[in-house]
Structure 1
Amino acid sequence: MKTNIIYNTSSENMPQIDDKSVKLVVTSPPYNINIQYGNKTSKGQIVSSKGAKYKDNLDEDTYRSMLSLVFNECKKKITDDGSIWINIKNRVDDGVIIPPFWIMDFFEDMYLKNIIIWNFDWGGSTNKRFAPRYEYVFWFVKDKKNYTFNLDDIKVPSLNYRPDRYKSQLKNPTDVWRISMVSGNFEERTEHPAQYPEKLIERIILAGTNENDIVLDPFMGSGTTAVVAKKLNRQYLGYETMQEYCEMAQTRLNKVGDNND
């Protein structure tokens, strides 16, 4: 089986990957919220466009059917001690918030270990409700007792360290992660319209894998998962239907190789 490759095809079927070979799946599927990502509009008309767009307005049945196929494939590919992490956010329908807890319906045969709140410091503005500043990360495991969790690799400084009570100045991170979104001046920024930050994926990969383990992203996008996996000496696999994004990811991966030479 080949590794360290991004396939330019749908992840609804993954014949290139052996069953029970992937330690960790981490991804952010299309949100299906009918937003034209990256387009600048004026008076309701698109006046400029940055980067390729992906279709984000499937009818709900088609969308959920696609996710079901992809996630079922992911479950076949992970090891018995593997895990799946899904980043997704709220939808707004006719002014009403719809939380994404429906995502759990796809993982009734797995165990939910955490719901992470990814909190960030900027984003869209609103004038009829509080501005949204978080997304979810759902963490599912195949075996509720036997799974990889490298706590020592992700500990953070304790703000209230007391040497008389604690052996270390480091502590377990909480389930609220304050990590900035990828802004225009970030070195990692690409033209992908919905790019998540390397720091978010770094913590997940460090916690859920060891060196040389395989990390899979079935919605690879700009390649963040692959880039972080490569930097952390993990192997990566991915799927992405848009050729432009595959090329974008490969450009980023090539830079990682240059940095390691």
Structure 2
Amino acid sequence: MDSKITSEKVRAQRNRTITLSQAEIPDLKSQLLTLDQLQNLAAVSGLKAPLESIINRTINADLLKAIDLLPDQFADLIIIDPPYNLTKNFNGTTFNARSEDAYDQYLATWFPKVCLKLKPTGSLYICGDWKCTSSLQRAVEKELTILNRITWQREKGRGAKSNWKNGMEDIWYAVKNPDDYYFNVEAVKIKRKVIAPYKVDGKPKDWEESEEGNFRLTYPSNFWDDISIPFWSMPENTDHPTQKPEKLYAKLILASSKENDIVFDPFLGSGTASVTAKKLGRRFVGIELNEEYSLLAQKRLNKAESDKTIQGYSDGVFWERNAKN
């Protein structure tokens, strides 16, 4: 590994961040699919690795070297959280900010290849911030049909003295065929507290009474203000610098895939897309360049065998932040 494992840091007693120990690394490493193994699988079967050989696996490899070895049109849903156009250190590998044209060119090296892996009826979500969102829109429009842009409130972050604090991120939502795609809005309703209950003939109208309070199920919009960024007290947290919340990805997965569908993440990071897919009864494929993040992803996947909980999602609904005790 190219850096010290995260478990060597001194942490507070209540810190629940997932870390790696030297003792567990060999076993976790044996569960990863390496580029050499992927190349051998592709060589035996032809140009592409067999689908069954990559399902429910974490591929520890460079995306540009691995993507052509995967079968085309295998994914029902693709979720992408690429490096934003910011200078950011990913555990020893630094992605440097660049001009908008250069970032467009960077996207062009891999995004069309990733779209080839999407089924004709598939959906794709790609994450970004204000600085790179226009580049993402241009890249997506060349390959797919954009249906919406989700903006979600990212409440965590440092203040800014000479600019507005960046408290939002975007997710572009696109499909291959706007006349034939899957979307289940019933699966992503939000349970919100009713502040001013309205009754008709003495009975609740469009809301329900419970021991925990008064709640209403509402249809989701493209602005999400109920997401909590993983932090040290959450059991899903890792040391990945841009980790996405399981609740965020659960909304995308439940809305745009069915049980047993395949979810593909070409920038897996510490594993949120694969882990959330597994918890929700989907199959998955993830590619991640960094070995330590790949190992963290595998550890989280193993934990998901016995723990299917997703913070903020229970009883088949998404709860408004701080609404459920």
- C-alpha contact 2:125 2:173 (8 A) present in aligned 1: yes
Aligned residue runs from structure 1 range 68-87, under 5 A: 68-87=108-127
CA drift of 1:63 comes to 4.6
Change (3 A) 1:70 1:163: farther
1:249 is aligned to 2:297: yes
Q: Distance in 2 between matches of 1:122 and 1:233?
A: 29
Change (3 A) 1:174 1:161: farther
Instruction: Give the counterpart of 2:135 among 89, 99, 102.
Output: 102
Q: Distance in 1 between matches of 2:244 and 2:230?
A: 6
Bigger RCO (CA 8 Å, 6+ sep):
1
Q: What is the one-letter code of the residue matched to 1:246?
A: S
Q: What is the one-letter code of the residue matched to 1:101?
A: S
1:180-205 CA distance string (max 9 Å, x none): 11122211111111111000000000
Aligned residue runs from structure 1 range 164-243, under 5 A: 169-178=216-225, 179-243=227-291
Q: In the comparison of the two structures, how many residue pairs are matched?
A: 239
Q: What is the one-letter code of the residue matched to 1:32?
A: N
Q: Secondary structure at the match of 1:135?
A: strand
Q: Distance in 1 between matches of 2:169 and 2:83?
A: 13
Q: Distance in 2 between matches of 1:171 and 1:186?
A: 26
1:114-162 CA distance string (max 9 Å, x none): 1111103231211122222110011011111211101111012365886
Q: What is the one-letter code of the residue matched to 2:60?
A: N
TM-score of the aligned structures, taking structure 2 as reference length: 0.68
- C-alpha contact 1:11 1:240 (8 A) present in aligned 2: yes
Q: Secondary structure at the match of 1:257?
A: coil
Q: Which runs of 5+ in 2 are unaligned?
A: 1-50, 209-215, 309-325
Instruction: Give the counterpart of 1:124 among 154, 158, 176.
Output: 158
- 1:43 aligned partner: none
Instruction: Give the counterpart of 1:115 among 134, 137, 149.
Output: 149
Change (3 A) 1:192 1:35: same
Q: Which moved more, 1:182-191 or 1:243-252?
A: 182-191
Indicate the percent of aligned positions where both proteins have the same amino acid.
31
- C-alpha contact 1:53 1:193 (8 A) present in aligned 2: no
- C-alpha contact 1:182 1:197 (8 A) present in aligned 2: yes
